[in-house]
Chain A
Amino acid sequence: MRRSSWAILGAASVAAGIYESAFLGSAPFPFCYLHPVLPCCVLFFLLNRRAAAYATAGLSGAVMDLMSAGPPGLVTVRWLCIMLMIDLLAEGVATNRSLYASMLLVGAARLADRVLWLMAAWSLHFLFRLDPVLESWARFLGILSVDLILTATFFVLISLFTKRFVISVSPRRTRYE
């Protein structure tokens, strides 16, 4: 990636972190279910921009940790761990770049985030007597649904306007070659 791309990515990551930490707390329905960082990071993996995915997760997570009014949620650590997991899944399990694979990866990322948040909450409770209240499962399902819709939309848009996910086969070759 070029330097200018990195600069844009950095600014966008900070903006996304601010959006998730400051805007979402007061935003009404349906905006309060729109958490764009994880789906965007997964799309970076699908576009073979691994470094961009890690950078976005790290930077947005750090802004979230700095600016969140709630008790510490260790967002940077959670999201970097999720990126590691998605990296492994994208290389070894959901290897094709299809719509279903992208939705599977986003679903896995959101579920892993919830599990890691639960673990962080337990650790914070036992180690520091802090009680971070987790969002309800109903809200979690709402966020997951919006994630899947967002991913599908991005995927279709990328497929329509670029040739990133198009599988091209030479017309000279037969189907068995």
Chain B
Amino acid sequence: MTRQGRTALTVLGAILALAVLHITTILVPVEDWLRSALAPLGSAATSAGTGLAKGFKGRMAIEQCNEKTADLETRLSSVSVDYVRLRALEEENEVLRKTLGYIQREGFDAVMARVISRSAVPERALIMIDRGSKDGLETGMAVVVGDGVFVGKVSAIQERTATVTLLSDPQSRVAVARSGQRRLIGLVEGRSNWTAEVTLIPQQEALDTNDILVTSGTEEKVPPNLTVGQINKVESQPTDPFKQASLQPLVPLEYIETVAVLRPQALRPGS
């Protein structure tokens, strides 16, 4: 047999052995351990890439900066009005809670996780985090950043790691409501390139630019009232049964480095 024949046989044998060991799940614990061991390196590399991307993005042209400032000022004025109104409502709510002796029990706790890798294909918005089924995570759980801004859902789970589908991924679907209302008004679908669209909005639903959308709470493992994004533009044809709107996520999804997975308290290990 020639040298190349021997090499081909060795390589094909190795591939076959790997495939068999993987399919029979014999390799799964080893894979999980290796993934866990490589997680710090992955996290550092992701962090370095994100830092570099932020640095490159920081070098914006003056026209772009002016445009962005004007846009932000418009939004700020609109949000300021909402803020004043919400402060008044919050104070009223506080008084009511005290009066009624209301005890807030959300029933969820947060599991902090680091992003250890991101999908290299720009059309997909997937991240891998360093927490898995060992930490009580399950498929479908909500993933948030900051003060409860919803960014995606756990879509695949391993023992020590999990894959999160961000809301801008083409395969992501999230049921949303308007802020302050628990009524489902549409579905947020990812459109890649870090954008998303709200679809299936009934024509009679009054939805305006700058409206804030939140999770509706109709999904079992996603609590209600998590901020999802802000409406950018509403598109409606009188002949269509539904209208749609473009949605701007409230956090830059491409720069996320740390997230929190919302776990129902009943699933907390040891509870």
CA distance A132 to B147 in the complex (A): 32
Please determine whether A66 and B35 come into contact, CB atoms closer than 8 angstroms: yes
Q: Which residues of B contact A28 (CB under 8 A)?
A: 52-53, 56-57
CA distance A66 to B170 in the complex (A): 23
* Given contact pairs A22-B116, A76-B18, A67 touches B38 in the complex (Cβ within 8 A): yes
Taking the complex as formed, is B26 at the interface, i.e. its CB lies under 8 A from any CB of chain A? no
- Count class of interface residues, chain B: 35 or more
Please determine whether B34 and A66 come into contact, CB atoms closer than 8 angstroms: yes
Please determine whether A18 and B45 come into contact, CB atoms closer than 8 angstroms: yes
* Given contact pairs A66-B31, A69-B119, A70-B126, A26 touches B18 in the complex (Cβ within 8 A): no
- Count class of interface residues, chain A: 35 or more
Taking the complex as formed, is A118 at the interface, i.e. its CB lies under 8 A from any CB of chain B? no
CA distance A69 to B19 in the complex (A): 20
Which of these binds chain B: A81-89, A145-153, A162-170? A81-89
Please determine whether B38 and A63 come into contact, CB atoms closer than 8 angstroms: yes
Q: Which residues of A contact B88 (CB under 8 A)?
A: none
Q: In the complex, how many angstroms separate the beta carbon of A153 from the nearest chain B beta carbon?
A: 21
Q: Which residues of B contact A14 (CB under 8 A)?
A: 38, 41
Taking the complex as formed, is B245 at the interface, i.e. its CB lies under 8 A from any CB of chain A? no
Taking the complex as formed, is B124 at the interface, i.e. its CB lies under 8 A from any CB of chain A? yes
CA distance A84 to B43 in the complex (A): 33
Q: Which residues of A contact B255 (CB under 8 A)?
A: 26
* Given contact pairs A67-B128, A87-B4, A24 touches B170 in the complex (Cβ within 8 A): no
CA distance A80 to B18 in the complex (A): 12
Please determine whether A50 and B7 come into contact, CB atoms closer than 8 angstroms: yes
* Given contact pairs A18-B38, A84-B8, A70 touches B119 in the complex (Cβ within 8 A): yes
Contact of A77 among B7, B15, B119, B124 (CB under 8 A): B15
Please determine whether B122 and A135 come into contact, CB atoms closer than 8 angstroms: yes
Can you list, as one digit per residue, whether each of B9-49 has a CB less than 8 Å from chain A (1) or not (0)?
A: 00100110011000000000001001100100111011011
Closest B residue to A27 using CB positions: B49
Q: In the complex, how many angstroms separate the beta carbon of A14 from the nearest chain B beta carbon?
A: 8
Q: Which residues of A contact B122 (CB under 8 A)?
A: 32, 135, 139
A interface residues (Cβ-Cβ under 8 A, vs B): 14-15, 18-29, 31-32, 50, 54, 58, 63, 66-70, 76-77, 80-81, 83-84, 87-88, 91, 131, 133-136, 139
- 14 A-B Cβ contacts within 8 A? A18-B41, A20-B120, A22-B46, A24-B49, A24-B120, A26-B49, A58-B14, A66-B35, A69-B118, A69-B126, A69-B128, A70-B120, A77-B19, A84-B11
